[in-house]
């Protein structure tokens, strides 16, 4: 059975303007790979409702899972929850279970659950809350979309909450062959081995460090025997 597929939607003007460097995409990519879910596409869009709705619809339809990051805080530009609801034609309002979490949290802190903070309890009908052990305000899963915060520490905690509940396929294995030769020198044997093992993904990544230049060949696949055989073949062609 092929691995489940996934897409990610990152929401935030601050990333598109270059002010903030996104960290969540790289983190999620690594976690999904460990879980045997294939991340197939990432989109980064601005805080514009029409763009968020359109990207959500397109990605949720094409892939088994959609993970979103950003736009679920208390300010006026946090419109992700409403956009996800719109994308799935679901109603949305302050929901009692989410409100109870926030009430308890702010009471503990001696802070008022004001109108702005209450926005974070807006959850679409039919969604399942995603636990936020860092700052309480929950994310949610609606259909195949998992909606999480943009703050990296919160995003990580939410990924840890939601990922074990999704069915992963066979975990993706990888092996690396480090060669002190240029990409142009190894391209031909690489192509030949890629043809021999069509189920593996074989990539080459040039490096140049401390006066040494070379190429890392990364083999990826779910079958350890194939990986080993392909690596041996490459070693024969390139080293011996």
Residue numbers at the binding site for its own copies (CB under 8 A) = 13-22, 25-33, 38-47, 51, 73-77, 111, 114-117, 119, 151, 172, 174, 182-188, 190-191, 194, 201-206, 208-209, 211, 213, 218, 220
Which of 27, 91 has the CB closer to its own copies? 27
Q: Which secondary-structure segment (H or E) carries 159? A: helix 152-162
Give the integer Cα–Cα distance in Å for 90 and 111. 31
Instruction: Report CA-CA distances (Å) from 104 to 99, 111, 113, 130, 136.
Output: 9, 10, 9, 17, 9
Q: Least distance from C-beta 126 to its own copies, angstroms?
A: 27
Phi-psi region of 43 (alpha: psi -120 to 50; beta: other; left: phi over 0): beta
Q: With beta carbons less than 8 A apart as the criterion, state whether 148 and 67 touch.
A: yes
Q: Least distance from C-beta 38 to its own copies, angstroms?
A: 8
Which of 104, 125 has the CB closer to its own copies? 104
Q: Least distance from C-beta 162 to its own copies, angstroms?
A: 17
Give the integer Cα–Cα distance in Å for 120 and 57. 22
Which of 206, 224 has the CB closer to its own copies? 206
Which of 74, 90 has the CB closer to its own copies? 74
């Amino acid at each position: 059975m092929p691995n489940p597929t996934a897409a990610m939607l990152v929401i935030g003007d601050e990333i598109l303007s270059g002010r903030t460097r996104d960290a969540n995409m790289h983190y999620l990519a690594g976690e999904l790979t460990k879980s045997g879910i294939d991340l197939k596409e990432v989109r980064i869009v601005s805080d514009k409702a029409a763009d968020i709705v359109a990207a959500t619809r397109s990605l949720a339809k094409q892939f088994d899972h959609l993970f979103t990051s950003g736009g679920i805080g208390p300010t006026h530009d946090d419109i992700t929850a409403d956009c996800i609801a719109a994308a799935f034609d679901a109603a949305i309002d302050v929901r009692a279970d989410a409100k109870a979490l926030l009430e308890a949290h702010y009471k503990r802190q001696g802070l008022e659950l004001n109108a702005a903070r209450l926005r974070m309890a807006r959850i679409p009908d039919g969604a399942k809350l995603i636990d936020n052990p860092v700052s309480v305000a929950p994310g949610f899963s609606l259909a195949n979309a998992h909606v999480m915060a943009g703050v990296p520490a919160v995003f990580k905690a939410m990924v840890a909450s939601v990922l074990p509940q999704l069915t992963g396929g066979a975990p993706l294995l990888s092996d690396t062959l480090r060669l002190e030769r240029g990409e142009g020198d190894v391209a031909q044997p690489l192509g030949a081995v890629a043809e021999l093992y069509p189920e593996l993904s074989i990539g080459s990544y040039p490096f140049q460090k401390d006066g040494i230049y070379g190429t890392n060949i990364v083999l990826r696949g779910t079958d350890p025997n194939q990986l080993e055989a392909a690596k041996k073949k490459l070693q024969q062609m390139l080293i011996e």
